[in-house]
């Protein structure tokens, strides 16, 4: 019941967190925003949802996940409703910051759920909870329909979401439970909790998560707009196709937890990065026309990804990031079982900041270059960094372990 109620709550929180992925498009048109301004608008909730992850993780370790999760959801109900009354750009940015608190729910639910399960099942449990990322796809299914029902007005979406958040908070409180023994850090000071974040492994996991989660969030926010601009689809069709990325990127996180439990966090994360590397390379290539001088005279060729091929590649990336998000947190549960809340908070912060910065950079790159695939060029670069870091970090650790074992034999 704890796992079910927490996953449902996180799904609604994530749907709210990703709200601008859909309603941001009519708002962009209404306010005549540039691509960079749209990126900032879409990313603003991600900023606050990321910054609060560290304190929320610490409070979860100290006070327990149930009360922290419940109060967090209640705190977002009013800001979500007020979004429907915003009329100016700065209104959306300010209210979006308060709405973004919903995104901090991940750092509450992860340690809360994990502590109800034995260590050999924590990867699967956290993966099932993390499947609440599918709230991103839920927004893409629900929000366009609500806009159509309201005659093209986007204001109905935050109103419906506000009511949904309130009902979900009440249901969560009714069906969840409290176990005081899970509050492992009651006697540990804040200073002691933060001190262990100096561990270099934490920063390594931050970088991985900024790719698999930050990249996922950024693309979930950007892809509806991308389909509209690149292929000329309606917002309803664009949102549906974008959901082909968002849905597996959320639901299959449970599969990633199971794979990580079985094959280990390192092996799983390594293959996830390689799959993303190949997919982003293909997605980076812009629509191109070029002319070749042949023996029969000039001949023009065109290279472009069709909407079908593009969506299939995005679907593959969605699966890979779902598995990668779970495998990174398997690292955390293996290495920091006593401080899951604190470490998941800082790693979640890094991932969230990636989800905040990347959409803004996507918009800026489009404004500067005029090439929409520049977003995937940027993501390709981040994956390259992860692969290089993983190779040298784990190679160094493997060599050190081998030398230690050899010394013991002698």
Rounded CA-CA distance 274/383 in Å is 8
pLDDT at 64: 83
Residue 195 exposed, middle or buried by CB count within 10 Å (0-12, 13-18, 19+): exposed
Q: pLDDT at residue 367 above 50?
A: yes
pLDDT mean over 287-315: 90
Q: pLDDT at residue 408 above 60?
A: no
Rounded CA-CA distance 194/173 in Å is 29
Domain borders along the chain are: 2-409
pLDDT at 407: 54
Contact 38, 364 (CB under 8 A): no
Q: pLDDT at residue 245 above 70?
A: yes
Adjacent-strand bridge partners of 292: 299
pLDDT at 402: 46
Phi, psi (degrees; rounded to nearest 5) at 326: -70, -40
pLDDT in tens, 151-179: 888 999 999 999 999 999 999 999 988 87
pLDDT at 350: 84
Mean residue pLDDT of the chain comes to 85
Rounded CA-CA distance 223/373 in Å is 11
pLDDT in tens, 37-77: 999 999 899 899 888 887 887 788 778 888 999 999 999 99
pTM for the predicted model, two decimal places: 0.80
pLDDT at 186: 47
- CA-nearest of 164, 168, 160 to 22 is 160
Q: pLDDT at residue 395 above 80?
A: no
pLDDT at 159: 94
From 87-101, 306-320, 323-337, the region with the lowest mean pLDDT: 323-337
Rounded CA-CA distance 122/3 in Å is 11
pLDDT in tens, 105-154: 888 888 888 888 887 777 778 778 877 888 888 888 898 888 888 888 89
Which among 23-27, 144-148, 180-184, 254-258 has the top mean pLDDT?
23-27
Using CA atoms, how far residue 197 sits from 2, 29, 327, 343, 364, in Å, is 28, 43, 19, 7, 33
pLDDT at 129: 86
Q: pLDDT at residue 406 above 50?
A: no
Using CA atoms, how far residue 246 sits from 124, 160, 163, 220, 314, in Å, is 20, 21, 23, 6, 9
Higher pLDDT, 36 or 258: 36
Angle between helices 2-17 and 156-175 (to 10 degrees): 160
pLDDT in tens, 79-95: 999 999 999 999 999 99
Using pLDDT thresholds of 50, 70 and 90, give the confidence band for residue 339.
Answer: low
Q: pLDDT at residue 197 above 70?
A: no
Alpha helices in 176-291 (DSSP H): 190-195, 200-212, 214-231, 235-251, 253-263, 265-284
Number of CB atoms found within 10 A of residue 204's CB = 18
pLDDT at 199: 77
pLDDT mean over 318-343: 80
Q: pLDDT at residue 187 above 50?
A: no
Q: Which residues have CB under 8 Å from 136's CB, separation 6+?
A: 14, 15, 18, 21, 217, 220, 246, 249, 250
Which CATH number does the domain 2-409 belong to among 1.20.1250.20, 3.20.20.60, 3.40.50.920, 1.10.10.10? 1.20.1250.20
Rounded CA-CA distance 303/88 in Å is 41
pLDDT mean over 285-304: 88
Higher pLDDT, 219 or 152: 219
From 16-30, 181-195, 213-227, the region with the lowest mean pLDDT: 181-195
Using pLDDT thresholds of 50, 70 and 90, give the confidence band for residue 5.
Answer: very high
Adjacent-strand bridge partners of 293: 298
Which among 115-119, 247-251, 273-277 has the top mean pLDDT?
273-277
């Amino acid at each position: 019941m704890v796992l079910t109620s927490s996953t449902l709550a996180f799904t609604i929180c994530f749907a709210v967190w990703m709200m601008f992925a859909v309603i941001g498009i009519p708002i962009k048109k209404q306010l005549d925003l540039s691509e960079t301004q749209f990126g900032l608008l879409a990313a603003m909730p991600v900023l606050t949802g990321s910054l609060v992850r560290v304190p929320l993780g610490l409070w979860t370790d100290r006070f327990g996940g149930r009360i922290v999760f419940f109060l967090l959801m209640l705190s977002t109900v009013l800001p979500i409703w007020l979004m429907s009354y915003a009329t100016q750009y700065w209104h959306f940015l300010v209210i979006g910051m308060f709405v973004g608190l919903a995104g901090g729910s991940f750092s509450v639910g992860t340690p809360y759920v994990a502590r109800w399960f034995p260590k050999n099942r924590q990867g699967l449990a956290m993966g099932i909870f993390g499947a609440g990322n599918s709230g991103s796809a839920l927004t893409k299914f629900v929000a366009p329909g609500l806009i159509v029902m309201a005659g093209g007005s986007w204001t109905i979406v935050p109103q419906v979401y506000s009511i949904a958040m309130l009902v979900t908070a009440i249901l969560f409180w009714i069906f969840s439970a409290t176990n005081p023994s899970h509050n492992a850090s009651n006697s540990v000071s804040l200073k002691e909790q933060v001190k262990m974040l100096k561990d270099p492994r934490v920063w390594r996991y931050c970088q991985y998560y900024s790719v698999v989660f930050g990249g996922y969030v950024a693309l979930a926010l950007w892809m509806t707009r991308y389909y509209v601009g690149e292929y000329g689809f309606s917002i309803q069709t664009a949102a549906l196709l974008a959901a082909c990325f968002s849905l597996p990127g959320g639901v299959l996180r449970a599969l990633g937890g199971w794979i990580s439990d079985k094959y280990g966090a390192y092996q799983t994360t390594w293959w996830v990065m390689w799959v993303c590397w190949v997919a982003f390379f293909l997605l980076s290539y812009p629509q191109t026309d070029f002319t070749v001088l042949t023996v029969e005279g000039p001949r023009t060729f065109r290279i472009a990804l069709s909407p079908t091929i593009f969506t299939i590649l995005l679907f593959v990336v969605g699966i890979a990031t779902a598995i990668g998000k779970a495998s990174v947190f398997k690292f955390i549960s293996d290495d920091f079982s006593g401080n899951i809340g604190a470490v998941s908070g800082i790693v979640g912060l890094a991932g969230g900041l990636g989800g905040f910065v990347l959409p803004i950079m996507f918009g800026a790159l489009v404004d500067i270059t005029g090439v929409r695939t520049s977003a995937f060029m940027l993501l390709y670069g981040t994956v390259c960094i992860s692969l290089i870091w993983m190779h040298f970090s784990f190679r160094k650790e493997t060599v050190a372990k081998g030398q230690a074992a050899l010394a013991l034999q002698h």
